[in-house]
């Protein structure tokens, strides 16, 4: 960078007074952040004391003495007061801004520590409260229940929801997002009866004795009901959007990757950006599976199209469901099966052949692809599809992704390394569902290998970690904490051999997450030429007691050298 070289020569050689001469003001930084502990997250994990920024980009990184010499007459000086400056956190997979619907449009049905629901009666009471303000023709919506955390250890049913209302339609989503429950009024609207067949890739759960629908809907069966839910109002949508923005920026997020955006979702994001309501950067994976054509394909745009604030990411697909919902697709049976079949392994969203055909089509067209795969059988199919696509149409550095990769086996990691596939791990499962995976879903041996971060690092596989918000609350430091400690709700360590260091975990929410999305040259570390996107923390996650990482306070979030959140 030529201008930088001139500034440094003048500052370091000719001018030691601490301020550049006035005629050099046009070259001076807009802002200098000094007197801090700067964790650059560059390749060498270098530390610094100060950073200079001009036009929203980093122009110098170094000691307080070095950087202070670049000061111009109009340069803003920010004293970090010995606090921690990191690259802004990179949310690699979530559902922004729909997470803002939780607690606003949708009743919060999460169990502690995320929500208040402990029993099905609690759930019914919460929905009744919403019903008091719901009018004829409107729906009662809820989200976040988890049968493994309810005292009854079962899903609510349509009979339970009918205790809230038999006239107003009710639809509540499971915490995983892969199941839902509808009351009798909602089932009637959808035309679901005893004789309704299962849709492809989904299950209408029915009473084994009577054959009547229980109200529980798995995977694609949810759409039979959800497609009838009225669209939210503009006021509701805006309120939810603003809530989501605050949830993200208050946790230090400067870039969010939307895991499955619709055409309308992209229209809304552009509208809010024009109105000055979108302060963080967003990359949108376009939903493109199950017969749906992604927004990018519809518009003729490939991965990377857009601006520095809003752009298209990979095409998002899905190949199985949720382990804790018993819809994840495994190669071996569940530890404790959900019914009478001891060989139950879950199921895929489509056949291997259908998946491969779609992957080859997208790969040939030049898209990056991101496919949801929790169970190892699903990951087998995904890797087969990626391998087939590369064999037919070789592409260097495609960086195709596998989302969650929860039960990836070691042999599958070897294939990922060979194919250049990059996983994004939902490692916070070890806290939120680690006990259930060990005791119910996977058994101790397989549960210990969930989210195999250490094994990935040993193979030289770059990966990100994420929260999948709104599945769990947005908090990148919680994900880092889980990657480092792997502590469950009960305080047990789930898979101690897969724990990684705080520095390695931080890379998975900064530099490696940026690399995963082809943004390593502009984001993810504090280096010359990259965006001035920062987070300022109260304490150092590299030196604090690792069990306290999740409790570190975010003091400021900065995008383009502008403070978008301050505690």
Q: What is the pLDDT of residues 254-276, one digit of tens each?
A: 999 999 999 999 999 999 999 99
58: helix, strand or coil? strand
**Sheet containing strand 562-566, strands side by side:** 47-48, 37-39, 84-87, 534-537, 554-559, 562-566
- Position 15 scores a pLDDT of 40
Q: Do residues 451 and 498 lie in contact, with contact meaning Cβ atoms separated by under 8 Å?
A: yes
pLDDT for 252: 98
Chain mean position to CA 458: 24
Residue 545 DSSP SS3? coil
Q: Which of 539, 476, 544, 537 is nearest to 505 (CA)?
A: 476
Neighbours of 128 (CB within 10 A): 14
Instruction: Classify burial at 286, counting beta carbons within 10 Å of its beta carbon; exposed 0-12, middle 13-18, buried 19 or more.
Output: buried
Contacts of 472 (CB under 8 A, 6+ apart): 114, 428, 432, 478
With b for 16 or more beta-carbon neighbours within 10 A and e for fewer, the 192-211 pattern comes to beeeeebbebbbbbbeeeee
Q: What's the pLDDT score for residue 8?
A: 52
Helix (H) or strand (E) holding 299: helix 295-299
Give me the residue spans of the domains in the chain.
2-82, 106-226, 235-566
* Residue 514 clears pLDDT 80, i.e. is over it: yes
User: Is a pLDDT exceeding 90 seen at residue 430?
Assistant: yes
Residue 86 three-state SS: strand
Q: What is the separation of C-alpha 554 from the centre of its chain, rounded to a whole number of angstroms?
A: 19
Q: How confident is the model at residue 193 (pLDDT cuts 50, 70, 90)?
A: very high
Q: With cut-offs at 50, 70 and 90, classify the pLDDT of residue 10.
A: very low
Q: What's the Cα-to-Cα distance from 52 to each of 1, 197, 485, 529, rounded to whole Å?
A: 14, 63, 35, 11
508: pLDDT confidence band, cut at 50, 70 and 90? very high
Helices 352-364 + 376-392 axis angle, to 10 = 40
Structure confidence by residue, pLDDT tens digits, 329-350: 999 999 999 989 999 999 999 9
Report the C-alpha gap between 372 and 355 in whole angstroms: 12
2-82 and 235-566 agree in CATH topology: no
Tokens of 428: 């916070």
Which CATH code fits 2-82? 2.30.40.10
The answer to whether 294 and 287 have CB atoms below 8 angstroms apart is yes
User: How far apart (Å, rounded) are the C-alpha atoms in residues 311 and 396?
Assistant: 22
Homologous superfamily in CATH for domain 235-566? Metal-dependent hydrolases (3.20.20.140)
The pLDDT mean for the chain works out to 95
Longest dimension (CA), the chain: 89
The token pair at 521 is 């040259």
For residues 93 and 464, is the Cβ–Cβ distance under 8 A? yes
Could you report the per-residue pLDDT of 62-76, keeping only the tens digit for each?
999 999 999 999 999
| Selection from 375, 305, 307 nearest residue 344 by Cα | 375
CA 560 to chain centre: 22
Q: What is the pLDDT of residue 5?
A: 45
Beta-carbon contacts of residue 369 (< 8 Å; ≥ 6 apart):
314, 315, 317, 359, 362, 363, 386, 398, 400, 401
Query: Percentage of the chain with pLDDT > 90?
Result: 93
Least confident of 16-25, 80-89, 207-216, 310-319: 16-25
- In SS3 terms, 454-483 reads as HHHHHCCCCCEECCCCCCCCCCHHHHHHHH
User: Is 440 in contact with 148 (CB distance < 8 Å)?
Assistant: yes
pLDDT tens column, 301-334 = 999 999 999 999 999 999 999 999 999 999 999 9
329 contacts 377 by C-beta, under 8 angstroms: yes
pLDDT of residue 3 exceeding 50: no
Determine contact, residues 425/405, Cβ cutoff 8 Å. Answer: yes
Taking the C-alpha atoms of residue 360 and residue 357, their distance in angstroms, rounded to an integer, is: 5
At what angle are helices 376-392 and 410-419 packed, to 10 degrees? 20
Through-space distance between the first and last CA atoms of the chain, rounded to whole angstroms:
35
Give the model's confidence band at 18: pLDDT under 50 very low, under 70 low, under 90 confident, else very high.
low
CA nearest neighbour of 510 among 451, 564, 466: 466
CATH class assigned to 106-226? alpha beta
**pLDDT at position 20:** 72
Instruction: With a cut of 50, say whether residue 292 has pLDDT above it.
Output: yes
Tens digit of pLDDT for each residue in 453-493?
999 999 999 999 999 999 999 999 999 999 999 999 999 99
- CA distances to 60, 389, 446, 480, 536 from 533, rounded to whole Å, are 14, 36, 38, 19, 10
| CA-derived radius of gyration, the chain | 25
Per-residue confidence (pLDDT) for residue 103, from 0 to 100 = 84
Say how many residues make up the chain: 567
Is the pLDDT score of 9 beyond 80? Answer: no
C-alpha atoms less than 13 angstroms from C-alpha of 432 in its C-beta half-sphere:
26
Query: Model confidence over 134-162: pLDDT tens digits?
Result: 999 999 999 999 999 999 999 999 999 99
Over residues 82-106, the mean pLDDT reads 95
């Amino acid at each position: 960078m030529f201008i930088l070289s001139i500034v440094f020569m003048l500052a370091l050689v000719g001018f030691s007074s601490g301020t550049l001469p006035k005629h050099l003001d046009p070259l001076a930084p807009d802002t200098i952040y000094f007197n801090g502990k700067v964790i650059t997250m560059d390749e060498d994990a270098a530390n610094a004391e100060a950073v200079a920024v001009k036009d929203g980009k980093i122009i110098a990184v170094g000691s307080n003495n070095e950087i202070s010499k670049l000061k111009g007459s109009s340069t803003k000086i920010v004293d970090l007061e010995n606090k921690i400056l990191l690259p802004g956190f990179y949310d690699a997979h979530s559902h922004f801004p729909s997470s803002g619907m939780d607690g606003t449009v949708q009743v919060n049905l999460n169990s502690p520590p995320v929500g208040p629901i402990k029993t099905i009666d609690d759930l019914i009471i919460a929905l009744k409260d919403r019903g008091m303000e719901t009018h004829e023709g409107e729906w009662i919506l809820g989200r976040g229940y988890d049968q493994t955390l309810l005292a009854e250890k079962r899903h609510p049913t349509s009979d339970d929801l009918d205790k809230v209302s038999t006239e107003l339609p009710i639809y509540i989503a499971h915490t995983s997002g892969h199941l839902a429950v509808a009351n009798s009024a909602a089932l009637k609207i959808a035309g679901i009866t005893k004789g309704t067949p299962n849709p492809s890739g989904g299950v209408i759960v029915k009473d084994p004795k009577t054959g009547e629908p229980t109200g529980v809907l798995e995977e694609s069966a949810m759409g039979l009901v959800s497609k009838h839910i009225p669209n939210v109002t503009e006021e509701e949508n805006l309120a939810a959007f603003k809530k989501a923005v605050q949830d993200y920026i208050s946790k230090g997020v400067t870039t969010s990757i939307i895991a499955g955006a619709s055409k309308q979702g992209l229209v809304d994001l552009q509208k809010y950006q024009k109105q000055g309501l979108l302060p963080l950067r967003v990359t949108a994976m376009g939903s493109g599976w199950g017969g749906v054509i992604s927004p990018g394909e519809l518009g003729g745009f490939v991965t990377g199209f857009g601006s520095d604030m809003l752009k298209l990411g990979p095409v998002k697909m899905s190949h199985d469901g949720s382990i804790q919902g018993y819809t994840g697709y495994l190669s071996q049976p569940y530890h404790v099966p959900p019914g009478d079949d001891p060989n139950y392994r879950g199921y895929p969203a489509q056949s291997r052949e259908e998946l491969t055909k779609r992957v080859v089509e997208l790969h040939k067209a030049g898209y990056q692809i991101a496919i949801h795969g929790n169970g190892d059988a699903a990951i087998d199919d995904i890797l087969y599809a990626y391998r087939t696509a590369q064999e037919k149409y070789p592409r260097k550095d495609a960086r195709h992704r596998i989302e969650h990769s929860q039960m990836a086996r070691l042999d599958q990691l070897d294939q990922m390394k060979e194919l250049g596939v990059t996983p994004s791990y939902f490692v916070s499962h070890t806290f939120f569902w680690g006990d259930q995976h060990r005791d119910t879903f996977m058994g101790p041996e397989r549960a210990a290998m969930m989210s195999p971060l250490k094994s990935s690092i040993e193979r030289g596989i770059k990966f990100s970690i994420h929260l999948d918000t709104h599945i769990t609350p947005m908090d990148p430091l919680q994900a880092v904490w889980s990657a480092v400690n792997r502590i469950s709700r009960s305080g047990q360590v789930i898979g101690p051999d897969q724990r990684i260091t705080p520095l390695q975990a931080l890379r998975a929410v900064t530099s490696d997450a940026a690399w995963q999305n082809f943004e390593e040259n502009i984001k993810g570390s504090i280096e010359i030429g990259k965006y001035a996107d920062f987070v300022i923390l109260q304490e150092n996650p590299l030196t604090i007691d690792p069990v306290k990482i999740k409790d570190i306070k975010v003091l400021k979030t900065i995008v383009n050298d502008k403070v978008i959140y301050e505690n």
